[in-house]
Every structure is written in structure tokens, then in C-alpha cells.
């Protein structure tokens, strides 16, 4: 494969901001996309908004338009116009999209900035399409995205790397249908109550329930299975929630740590996005300097263990009684709203939002150049 041609210094990079998607986190994506579009440097980039509706159809927007939503605040509008076809073979290094209803209407982007949270957005599916298209894109690549999204596989790899994780069991929908009573007994025996029941491959706390008594466990399991075919039951610990942002390819770096202070019972979807007073943040986290350094080191270790690159937000539980920490999960496409933890952590570390976006674009182009030299014939 030939390396991509260098873009003229006078021409702007055409960035396609991809948002929406077939996911329970569709609305969250519209919020993140609005913040990204508003902050990208218009003197460097031409921005093309490409929305994906809940059925998976792609729509190129005439202009990026930020509107007010009653529940979510500022969101990027997603208007369904035309019938668009994605052509990833026309020109190496660019993604072409055609409107089949209007002859001659097409767009071509030099780089894709995905702001698609959850299923089909940060699970390696979209990343695989963009790899086939041979177009640069922001964020973790196929393998890291797929592993990071699957909480069971991620925990296994983290545990293998010597990073502490909370005890858990994983069950499939088939297993639950075949032997529900056996699974309930196993869960209560292996994991002390309370527990959290989670779909394996969702984010933003979608489908999660906290269970304090055994009689509520079956209902929580049924609820989680609405969002995935495999779920996790995890020991609930009395803890503080500490987060760290990681950025980089070959030499990733960690931000300072921050703490989420949920005002609900746990940091639920409602607390994150629907209740303006659902949680508070402490940046930096009010923890000892040495402990913060250990968490930051573990964040980078976890990032590498899952073969991540570009960016991720790494979430930890800090047990209140013992001050022991556990890596909860690695979010390979974290929230990018103006109040999201990932950009706020980097801003507090000294990298402002617009410069963070520039850096993510640089990392995407860097990774694409490296991959362009891989032999395929």
C-alpha cells in the first residue's frame, strides 16, 4: 500500500463528524457531537456533519446545526434528507458519500471523527468499516474498541496484567433461559450482595441496576438482557468513583485524576445526562498524591493491556474502608460534552478542549501513516 499523499498546507482538512447511531446512547452522541463541532478550529478544518439515525441510515447535513433539546440541552441536529450511499473504494484515504436522490451531490472527507457512543459506534464495528475504507479516524482502533466494549473480556485481560478488578460472573441469555434458579444461586454464593447487573457491551450506564436483596435479582437480569445477549453480575462495593483520562499512541500519558460524586444511589444514566444536579465532580480528586500516582500508572497499564491507542477514559473504584482501588472499565469513546469528565480532566492538566481535539486529529493521522506502510500484497 502506498503512503497517503501529503495535504497542501493551504488546504483545510475535511473532517466528517459522525454521530447518532443505532445505540441506546444515541441522544448522548448528539450532545457530544455538538460540543466537538463547536470546538473544532474552523481555520484548520472544514467540518461535515454526518448523522446516523436509530435505524442505521446515514445522512449528510447541509450545515452542522446546534439546537436546544429540552432533555439534553445543546445537541447537534440530525435531519433525515436524501438517501446516502457510503463508497469506501473510490479514493484511497478519503471517505466518499453520495446522495442517490440528487445526482452529483456527494461529499468526501479526509478524516472521520466518530462521536458514536455504545453499540455499533465504539465496539469496533464502525472502526472496521473505516479501516476497510483506508481513511484516518479519531479514537481507538478495531481491536482495542472491541475488547474495551466487552466488559468480560476486558476484565480477563486486566486481571491477567495484574490490575485489580471487582469479582464478577458472566451469563448468556441462553444460560438464563435454561437454568435461572441455578444462576441465581451461583450469583448469591459467589458474589456478596449488593451486586450490580450490567449488559456486557453498553456504556453510559445503560441497562444497569443495583440489587440489594435476592428477590430483585431476576428482574434486574431480565432488564439487562433487553440491551445485550450477555450480561455481567458484579460485586457492589462501598466506594468512591475515580476517573483518569489517557491520551496517546505509542507513548500514552495520563491526566490528573478526578472524582465523580453521584447524588443518586449510583452514577446512573439519569444522573449523567437527565438530572442537571445528578452528580458533582472534584478535579483533582481529593486523594493522597501517592495514591493518585498509582491510579494514573494503572490507567496507562490498563490502556496498554487492552491494546488501546488515541484516547480512553479509565474508571476506578476506590474502596472507602481500605483505600484499595479496582479498575472498573475503560471507555474507548468517552463523553465529549462540555461537562464530560474526559475533556475536563485534560483541561485541568493543561490541555484545553480545542487543543485536545487538535491532538486527537494528529494522533489519528499519525496512526494512519504508520498503518499505510503495512504490506498487503
For residue 4, what is the DSSP state? P
- Whole-number Å distance between alpha carbons of 249 and 309: 5
- Residue holding cell 447518532? 20
**DSSP character at residue 1:** -
Q: Strand, coil or helix: what is 185?
A: helix
Query: Which of 23, 204, 205, 298 is flagged as catalytic?
Result: 204
Residues 349, 196: Cα–Cα separation, whole Å: 32
The whole-angstrom separation of Cα 254 and Cα 244 is 7
139: left (phi over 0), alpha (psi -120 to 50) or beta: left
Which one is catalytic: 335, 340, 342, 353?
335
The alpha carbon torsion through 6, 52, 127, 164 (nearest 10 deg) reads 130
Q: Is 372 a catalytic residue?
A: no
Is 290 one of the annotated active-site residues of the chain? Answer: no
68 assigned to active site:
no
**Measured distance CA(181)–CA(122) in Å, rounded:** 34
Q: How far apart are CA 66 and CA 270, in angstroms?
A: 22
Cβ count near 367 (within 10 Å)? 20
CB 75 within 8 A of CB 43: no
C-alpha count within 13 angstroms, C-beta hemisphere, residue 113: 29
Catalytic-residue membership of 273: yes
Beta-carbon contacts of 293 under 8 Å, excluding residues fewer than 6 positions away, are: none
From the list 297, 315, 311, 296, the residue with the least C-alpha distance to 243 is 315
Which one of 16, 20, 23, 25 is the catalytic residue?
25
162 Cβ contact list (under 8 Å, min separation 6):
none
Q: Which of 331, 340, 342, 367 is catalytic?
A: 331
Whether 137 is catalytic is: no
Helix (H) or strand (E) holding 236: none
Per annotation, catalytic residue among 110, 122, 243, 315 = 315
Annotated catalytic residue within 19, 137, 273, 342: 273
Active site (annotated) includes residue 204: yes
331 counts as catalytic: yes
- CB of 99 within 8 A of CB of 82? yes
User: Catalytic amino acids?
Assistant: 25, 204, 273, 313, 315, 329, 331, 335
Amino acid at each position: 500500500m502506498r503512503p497517503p499523499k501529503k495535504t497542501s498546507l493551504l488546504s483545510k482538512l475535511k473532517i466528517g463528524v459522525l454521530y447518532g447511531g443505532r445505540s441506546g446512547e444515541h441522544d448522548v452522541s448528539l450532545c457530544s457531537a455538538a460540543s466537538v463541532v463547536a470546538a473544532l478550529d474552523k481555520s484548520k478544518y472544514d467540518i461535515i456533519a454526518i448523522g446516523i439515525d436509530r435505524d442505521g441510515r446515514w445522512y449528510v447535513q447541509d450545515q452542522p446545526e446546534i439546537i436546544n433539546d429540552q432533555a439534553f440541552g445543546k445537541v447537534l441536529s440530525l435531519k433525515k434528507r436524501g438517501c446516502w450511499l457510503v463508497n469506501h473504494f473510490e479514493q484511497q484515504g478519503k471517505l466518499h458519500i453520495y446522495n442517490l436522490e440528487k445526482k452529483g451531490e456527494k461529499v468526501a472527507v479526509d478524516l472521520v471523527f466518530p462521536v458514536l457512543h455504545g453499540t455499533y459506534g465504539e465496539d469496533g464495528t464502525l472502526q472496521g468499516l473505516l479501516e476497510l475504507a483506508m481513511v484516518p479516524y479519531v479514537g481507538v482502533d478495531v481491536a482495542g474498541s472491541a475488547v474495551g466494549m466487552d466488559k468480560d473480556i476486558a476484565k480477563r485481560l486486566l486481571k491477567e496484567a495484574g490490575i485489580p478488578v471487582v469479582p464478577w460472573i458472566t451469563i448468556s441469555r441462553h444460560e438464563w433461559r435454561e437454568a435461572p434458579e441455578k444462576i441465581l444461586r451461583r450469583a448469591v454464593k459467589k458474589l456478596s450482595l449488593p451486586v450490580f447487573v450490567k449488559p456486557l457491551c453498553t456504556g453510559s450506564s445503560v441497562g444497569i441496576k443495583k440489587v440489594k436483596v435476592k428477590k430483585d435479582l431476576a428482574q434486574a437480569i431480565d432488564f439487562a438482557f433487553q440491551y445485550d445477549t450477555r450480561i455481567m453480575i458484579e460485586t457492589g462495593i462501598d466506594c468512591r468513583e475515580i476517573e483518569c483520562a489517557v491520551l496517546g499512541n505509542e507513548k500514552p500519558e495520563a491526566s490528573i485524576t478526578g472524582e465523580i460524586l453521584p447524588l443518586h444511589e449510583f452514577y446512573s444514566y439519569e444522573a449523567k445526562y437527565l438530572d442537571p444536579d445528578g452528580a458533582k465532580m472534584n478535579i483533582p480528586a481529593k486523594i493522597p498524591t501517592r495514591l493518585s500516582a498509582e491510579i494514573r500508572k494503572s490507567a496507562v497499564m490498563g490502556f496498554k493491556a487492552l491494546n488501546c491507542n488515541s484516547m480512553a477514559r479509565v474508571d476506578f473504584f476506590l474502596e472507602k474502608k481500605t483505600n484499595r482501588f479496582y479498575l472498573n472499565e475503560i471507555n474507548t469513546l468517552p463523553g465529549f460534552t462540555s461537562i464530560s469528565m474526559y475533556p475536563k480532566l485534560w483541561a485541568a492538566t493543561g490541555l484545553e478542549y480545542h487543543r485536545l481535539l487538535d491532538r486527537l486529529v494528529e494522533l489519528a493521522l499519525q496512526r494512519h501513516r504508520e498503518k499505510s506502510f503495512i504490506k498487503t500484497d
